[in-house]
Amino acid sequence: MHRLRVVDVSQFLPGPFAAQMLSDMGADVLKVEPPAGDPMRALNPVTNQRQQAPFHAAVNAGKRVVCVNLKSDDGKQAFLDLIANSDVLLESYRPGVMERLGFDYDSLKTINPGLIYCSLSGYGQFGPLQKRSGHDINYLAMSGGLSVTGAEDKPQPPFPPVADYGGAMQAVIAIQNAIIHRYASGEGCYLDVAMADTMLSWQVFGLIACEESKSTNSSGPKRSGDLLNGGAACYQVYETSDGGFISLGAIEVIFWKNFCAAVARPDWVDRQSEQLPQSQLISEVSTLILTKDRDHWDQLLGAIDCCYHPVLGYEELAAWPQIQERQLLDFNEMSGQLQGVNNPVWQNNQPPKARAPLSEVSIEEALSAWT
C-alpha cells in the first residue's frame, strides 16, 4: 500500500500548514502552485515586506512542489491525472474558484470515488459571507473572541494568527476522520472547513458567560476584566524592573498560596476571590514585581509550584533548557540558521525528525511517482 497521497492546492499559511502536518504524519504531499508561485514566496508576514523570504520554505518543508497552470488544457489534464491517483485534495481558494476551473468535488469524484476533498476557506462554502475576502483578524472578529482580547481600551489581535493555525488543525482532524471512514466504507467525501467556524467553536466559555450575564444582570465577558484575559491578579503578566515580564497562572488556590508565600505576602491569599477586575490587587502585585529584575523572579518563583514562567523573547528560545531538551527547533547543519520548528510530537520516546527541505519537481516527475 502506498503512502497517503495528498494534493495541496493551497496558499499562504492555513492550507500549507495543514498539509505539512499531514506530511509530518507520513503522507506524501505534492503542493501544486500556479506559474507565478504561491504568493507566500514573496511575503514577509512579520514585516509586510514584499520580497523573497524564508517563510514559504518553512511552512512547505517536507513536500514536493510542482508548478501547474490549472487554466491551460495541458495543466488541467495533468491535474486530473494527479487526482486520479491521490487520496486527499486540500484547497483554499475562495468558494467557486475550483468549480470554475472544473475541479469541484462532484466532477473529481467521478474519476476518483474514494477522494477526500477538503475545502479550507475563511467563511465556508455557503452563507452571506462565503466569497468575502478575509484574514485571521476578521475570523476572530466574527467569532466574538476578538472582542475580549487585548487591553481594556481596544481589542488587539494575537500573534501568531490563531485562526489560521486553528483552521489548519481543524482541517487535519476532519481529514483524519474521513480517512478512517474511508477505510471502513471505501467512500470518499467532501469537507467544508471554515476558519471563522473554527474560531466560533472555540468560544463556548464566552458564549455561556454571556448567557449567564442575562440572568444576573451583569455586563458579561469584557477585555481585561475576566479571569483568563487580564482581570485577575493570579492570572496575569507582570513587568519586572529591567523591562522584562513574567507570567503567573496561579488559578488554583494552592498555587496562589504558594506564590503569596514565596513573595512574603500572606495577606494576599484570601483576596484571590475578590471581584473582577481586581485592579487594586493587580496594582499591588505589579508594584512588588517591579522592584526586582526578571532573573531575580525566575530564581525565586522558578523553584516554587505556582504556575510561573518568564515571558521569553524569540531570541531566547534556542538557549532555553526545556526547549533544547524537547528538540523541536530545526537548525541548518551547515549554517546553524533556524529553518523551522519540527512536528511537536515525540513517538516511542523518540524526538520528531527534521523535515526534508521542499523540493521543486516537474509535472512529469510528479506523475511518474504516483502512476
CATH number of the domain to which 291 belongs: 3.30.1540.10
Judge contact between 198 and 123, C-beta under 8 A.
Answer: no
Structural domain contains residue 328: no
Q: Which amino acid is at 96?
A: G
Could you give phi then psi for residue 117, rounded to 5 degrees?
-110, 115
* 43 and 189 fall within a common domain: yes
In a domain, 109, yes or no: yes
> What is the reported pTM?
0.94
Q: Is the dihedral of CA 185, 188, 190, 195 positive or negative?
A: positive
For 199-220, the pLDDT digits (tens) are 999 999 999 999 988 888 777 8
- Answer whether 155's CB lies under 8 Å from 82's CB: no
Residues 241 and 164 in one domain: no
Of the candidates 103, 228, 114, 90, the residue with the CA atom closest to the CA atom of residue 170? 90
In a shared domain, residues 40 and 136: yes
DSSP class per residue in 35-47: TT--GGGG--TTT
Task: Name the residue among 191, 167, 121, 175 with its Cα closest to residue 6.
Answer: 175
> How far is residue 274's CA from residue 234's CA, in Å, rounded to a whole number?
11
Q: Are residues 135 and 283 in the same domain?
A: no
Res 77 pLDDT > 90: yes
Predicted confidence band of residue 26 (pLDDT cuts 50, 70, 90): very high
Among 161, 174, 114, CA closest to 134: 161
Q: In terms of domains, do 32 and 174 share one?
A: yes
Grid cell, residue 335, equals 549554517
The answer to whether residues 206 and 227 touch, using CB atoms and an 8 Å cutoff, is no
Q: Taking 70 as the threshold, does the pLDDT of residue 61 lie above it?
A: yes
- Is there a single domain that holds both residue 150 and residue 50? yes
User: Is the residue at 215 inside a domain?
Assistant: no
Let me know whether 117 and 244 are in one domain.
Answer: no
CATH code of residue 75: 3.40.50.10540
Q: Is 353 left (phi over 0), alpha (psi -120 to 50) or beta?
A: beta
Residues 175 and 245 reside in one and the same domain: no
* 257: Cα within 13 Å, side-chain hemisphere: 4
Predicted local distance difference test score (pLDDT) of residue 307: 98
Domains held by the chain: number:
2
Query: Per residue in 124-181, pLDDT tens?
Result: 999 999 999 999 999 999 999 999 999 999 999 999 999 999 999 999 999 999 999 9
Give the range of the structural domain holding residue 190, as residue numbers without chain letter: 5-201+356-370
Compute the mean pLDDT over every residue in the chain, rounded to the nearest whole number: 95
Which of 207-221, 271-285, 323-337 bottoms out in mean pLDDT, i.e. has the lowest?
A: 207-221
Amino acid at 363: I
pLDDT at 301: 98
Examine residue 305 and state whether it is found in any structural domain, yes or no.
Answer: yes
Share of the chain above pLDDT 70, in %: 100
Cβ contact 293:229 at 8 Å: no
The pLDDT, as a whole number, for residue 178 is 98
Measure Cα distances from 45 to 87, 141, 160, 231, 315 in Å. 31, 20, 10, 31, 18
How far does the chain reach from its first CA to its final CA, in angstroms?
Answer: 13
pLDDT in tens, 39-48: 999 888 888 8
C-alpha cell, 84 = 486520479
Q: How many angstroms separate the CA atoms of 75 and 186, rounded?
A: 29
* Whether residues 57 and 185 fall in one domain: yes
Give a yes or no: residue 210 inside a domain: no
pLDDT at site 5: 98
Report the phi/psi class of residue 91: left, alpha or beta, with left for phi > 0 and alpha for psi in -120 to 50: beta
Task: From 235, 240, 166, 161, select the one nearest 200 (Cα to Cα).
Answer: 166
C-beta separation of 44 from 52 below 8 A: no
- In this structure, of 97-101, 172-176, 193-197, 334-338, the range with the lowest mean pLDDT score is 334-338
- Quote the Cα angle for 287-277-308, to 5°: 55
pLDDT recorded at residue 1: 66
117 CB-side CA count, 13 A:
23
Q: Tell me if residue 278 falls in helix, strand or coil.
A: coil
The answer to whether residue 329 sits within a structural domain is: no
Q: How far apart are CA 316 and CA 245, in angstroms?
A: 13
Q: What is the pLDDT of residue 51?
A: 73
Q: State residue 333's pLDDT score.
A: 86
216 within domain boundaries: no
- Say how far residue 10 (Cα) sits from the centre of its chain: 16
- Prior bond of 277 cis (ω within 30°): yes
Are 260 and 111 part of one and the same domain? no
Pairing status of strand 116-121 against strand 5-9? unpaired
For residues 151 and 241, state if they share a domain: no
Least confident of 50-54, 280-284, 285-289: 50-54
The continuous run of DSSP H or E covering 331 comes out as strand 329-331
The answer to whether residue 88 is domain-embedded is: yes
Task: Tell me the one-letter amino acid at 227.
Answer: L
Average pLDDT over residues 247-253: 98
- Compute the distance between CA of residue 62 and CA of residue 118 in angstroms, rounded to an integer: 20
